């Protein structure tokens, strides 16, 4: 209610007493949507701080102000040195008017999310503070005057609808009346409102929370923090209270929002990973298939794509898919290799599931602690959470496909531009770089933990990923080049994802994606 007409009327009166006859010395801005008016009265300085943000507008009074040396701009020098000859409020409107000598008028407009300051000369607008509010440029002084009929007859005519009759009350006061007199008879409503307006001749201002929002109220509120009878003191205290509480509430909300998103993300990951594990465990083991093939090598012919054999583990027949271009022996070896990867993947998935459960419990504990926090000090230890999560959104884990094989982090690009980001920005010169030969595909990078040479089977695993994430993924065996990142470069003019490799080795590998 700090911008409610009933409050602004008292604020305007007090400012008139304080500023009448004073000289306007400065008008400047050093913050976005914030304007300072500096006055000199009886040898002392007084500053009106006009906060004119779309989400929060307020007029406060300061006896001193340390102006910045940089990033500050003077405004409307033609009104400097002019004296204040009147200070008042437009009738029934949330707009203050400062009359200056030489027929200048400043209007401080405090309309919802469209606050502004307008300058007039001889009743003609000559400037506005926020030029983005285009409709303000056509506002005439007469547009600010509002007629109203607050008589009992009009109240009766509108069937006691105080929202329509007393339109100057504003949202908070209307909300207060709704919770107090909504079910009263028409006459009783009228009497209550008249008694309230009588009290506003010498009001008491309470500052606290109304509907969980920091508020300055003309009506009683529970657990108020401050109480004033002076409008200037009240609005100054409210400004500080709002900034502190709003900042605290906003920080708390941001932290909770960040954690809730992280929790949801982890729960989704957990659900998908558990389903993936169930699929792996319920499917036919690659090792069992390999054992069955090895036991029947003598009866298998070359060049067949599938064969039906007895599964001696279950005493039931099983159909096994084979690669025509591989011998039965090589097909069995292929299944053994897949079996090794399968076992590694199951172990890794189980570990990831355990980690996800622990992370969810940790996040839930953090959410509870933040919900219970009452001040910034209690939030301090959690402020890093937002920064950490924000940084993680730009981390390799979120930018690229990620795999872990025997403790080695392997990153896979998602598209041409993403390939460049992976290779040129995230890969270090000693990391290993892989790509399917002679076709479009993802860049693959093995992050090196130390200077020791990587085992061949780690390179083979990464190569199988490079083969899978390429246009040759459906071929039986794919040539994949691998080298260290320092031998990969990009020259000006090359398309996204295209690079030059100065030194390379080639490995023949079957396309493979964990879980497939």
Q: Which residue has the tokens 């994802």?
A: 497
| Residue 26, strand partner residues | 38
Given a contact cutoff of 8 angstroms between Cβ atoms, the answer to whether 82 and 24 are in contact is yes
* Residue 455 φ/ψ, nearest 5 degrees: -60, 150
Residues 273 and 179 in one domain: no
- Alpha-carbon distance of 221 to 206, in angstroms, equals 7
Task: Tell whether 514 is covered by a domain.
Answer: no
Residue in 157, 243, 225, 218 with CA at minimum distance from that of residue 6: 218
Residues 33 and 135 in one domain: yes
Task: Tell whether 242 is covered by a domain.
Answer: no
Given a contact cutoff of 8 angstroms between Cβ atoms, the answer to whether 104 and 119 are in contact is yes
Given a contact cutoff of 8 angstroms between Cβ atoms, the answer to whether 335 and 293 are in contact is yes
Residues 181 and 113 in one domain: no
Task: Tell whether 234 is covered by a domain.
Answer: no
Instruction: Retrieve residue 107's tokens.
Output: 């209007």
Domain count, the chain: 4
Residues 380 and 253 in one domain: yes
- Alpha-carbon distance of 39 to 47, in angstroms, equals 6
Q: Which pLDDT score is estimated for 143? A: 92
Task: Tell whether 238 is covered by a domain.
Answer: no
Task: Let me know how long the chain is.
Answer: 516
SS3 at position 367: helix
Task: Tell whether 385 is covered by a domain.
Answer: yes
Long-range contacts of 492-495, Cβ-Cβ distance < 8 Å, separation of 24 or more: 495/416
Annotate 89-142 with DSSP letters as a single string: E-TTSSEEEEEETTTEEEEEE--TT--EEEEEETTEEEEES-TT-GGGGG--GG
Q: Which domain does 464 fall in, by range?
A: 396-509
Residue in 109, 172, 180, 170 with CA at minimum distance from that of residue 143: 109
Given a contact cutoff of 8 angstroms between Cβ atoms, the answer to whether 286 and 304 are in contact is no
Within 8 A by CB and 6+ apart from 445, the residues are 410, 411, 412, 422, 423, 426, 427, 431, 432, 433, 434, 485
| Domain closes at, from 166, 197, 229 | 229
Task: Tell whether 84 is covered by a domain.
Answer: yes
Residues 109 and 198 in one domain: no
Q: Which pLDDT score is estimated for 472? A: 92
Residues 218 and 264 in one domain: no
Annotate 391-425 with DSSP letters as a single string: HHTTSHHHHSEEEEETTEEEEE--SHHHHHHIIII
Instruction: Retrieve residue 261's tokens.
Output: 């998103």
Given a contact cutoff of 8 angstroms between Cβ atoms, the answer to whether 74 and 127 are in contact is no
- Alpha-carbon distance of 288 to 294, in angstroms, equals 10
- Alpha-carbon distance of 364 to 372, in angstroms, equals 12
Instruction: Retrieve residue 178's tokens.
Output: 């709704």
Residue in 415, 490, 400 with CA at minimum distance from that of residue 445: 400
Q: Which pLDDT score is estimated for 516? A: 45
Q: Which pLDDT score is estimated for 435? A: 97
| Domain closes at, from 392, 411, 431 | 392
Residues 222 and 119 in one domain: no
Strands ordered across the beta sheet of 205-210: 213-217, 205-210, 226-228
Residues 418 and 322 in one domain: no
The CA R_g of the chain, rounded to the nearest whole Å, is: 37
Give the chain's count of helices (H) and strands (E): 13, 23
Residues 416 and 287 in one domain: no
| Domain closes at, from 95, 124, 144 | 144
DSSP H or E stretch at residue 349 = helix 328-372
Task: Tell whether 375 is covered by a domain.
Answer: yes
- Alpha-carbon distance of 105 to 100, in angstroms, equals 6
Within 8 A by CB and 6+ apart from 118, the residues are 106, 107, 109, 125, 127, 128, 129, 136, 139
Residues 315 and 336 in one domain: yes
Q: Which pLDDT score is estimated for 29? A: 92
SS3 at position 258: helix
Residues 111 and 210 in one domain: no
Q: What is the mean pLDDT of each run of 10 residues along the chain (516 residues)?
A: 89 94 93 91 90 91 84 91 95 94 95 94 94 92 89 89 88 89 91 91 90 87 90 92 78 84 90 82 78 89 89 86 89 83 75 89 89 74 59 60 87 94 93 94 92 85 94 90 94 88 90 68
Residues 132 and 174 in one domain: no
Task: Tell whether 417 is covered by a domain.
Answer: yes
In the DSSP assignment, the letter for residue 470 is: B
Within 8 A by CB and 6+ apart from 441, the residues are 435, 466, 469, 470, 471, 472
């Amino acid at each position: 209610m700090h911008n409610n007409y009933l409050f602004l009327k008292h604020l305007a009166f007090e400012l008139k007493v304080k500023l009448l006859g004073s000289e306007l010395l400065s008008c400047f801005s050093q913050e976005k949507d914030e304007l300072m008016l500096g006055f000199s009265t009886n040898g002392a300085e007084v500053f009106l701080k006009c906060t004119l943000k779309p989400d929060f507008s307020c007029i406060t009074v300061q006896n001193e102000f340390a102006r910045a040396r940089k990033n500050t701009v003077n405004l409307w020098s033609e009104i400097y040195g002019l004296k204040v000859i009147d200070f008042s409020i437009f009738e029934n409107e949330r707009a203050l008017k400062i009359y200056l000598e030489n027929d200048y008028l400043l209007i401080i407009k405090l309309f919802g999310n469209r606050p502004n300051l307008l300058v007039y000369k001889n009743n003609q607008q000559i400037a506005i503070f926020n030029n983005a509010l285009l409709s303000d440029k056509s506002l005439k002084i007469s547009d600010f005057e509002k007629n109203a009929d607050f008589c009992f007859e009009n109240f009766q005519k509108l069937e006691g609808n105080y929202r329509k009759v007393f339109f100057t009350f504003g949202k908070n006061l209307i909300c207060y009346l709704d919770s107090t007199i909504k079910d009263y008879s028409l006459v009783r409503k009228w009497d209550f409102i008249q008694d309230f307006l009588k009290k506003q001749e010498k009001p008491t201002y309470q500052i606290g929370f109304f509907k969980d929002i920091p508020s300055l109220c003309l009506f009683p509120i529970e657990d108020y923090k401050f109480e004033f009878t002076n409008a200037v003191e009240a609005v100054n205290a409210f400004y500080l209270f709002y900034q502190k509480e709003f900042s605290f509430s906003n920080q708390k909300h941001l932290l909770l929002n960040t954690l809730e998103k992280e929790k949801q993300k982890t729960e989704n990951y957990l659900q998908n990973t558990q389903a993936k594990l169930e699929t792996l465990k319920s499917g036919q083991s690659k090792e069992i298939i390999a054992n069955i093939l090895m036991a029947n090598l003598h009866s298998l012919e070359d060049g067949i794509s599938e064969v039906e054999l007895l599964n001696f583990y279950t005493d039931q027949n099983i159909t096994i898919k084979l690669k025509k271009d591989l011998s039965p022996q090589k097909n069995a070896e292929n299944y053994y290799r897949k079996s090794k990867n399968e076992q590694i993947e199951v172990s890794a998935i189980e570990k990831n599931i355990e980690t996800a459960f622990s992370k969810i419990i940790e996040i839930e504990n953090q959410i509870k602690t933040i919900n219970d926090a009452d001040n910034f000090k209690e939030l301090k230890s959690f402020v890093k959470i937002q920064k950490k999560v924000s940084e993680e959104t730009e981390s390799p884990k979120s930018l690229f496909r990620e795999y872990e094989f025997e403790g080695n982090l392997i990153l896979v690009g998602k598209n041409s531009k993403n390939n460049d980001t992976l290779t040129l920005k995230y890969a270090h010169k000693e990391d290993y770089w892989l790509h399917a030969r002679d076709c479009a595909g993802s860049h693959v990078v093995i992050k090196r933990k130390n200077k020791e040479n990587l085992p061949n089977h780690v390179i083979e695993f990464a190569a199988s990923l490079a083969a899978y994430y390429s246009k040759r993924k459906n071929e039986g065996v794919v040539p994949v080049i691998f080298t260290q990142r320092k031998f990969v470069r990009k020259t000006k003019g090359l398309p996204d994802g295209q690079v030059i490799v100065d030194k390379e080795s080639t490995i023949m590998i079957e396309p493979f994606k964990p879980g497939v």
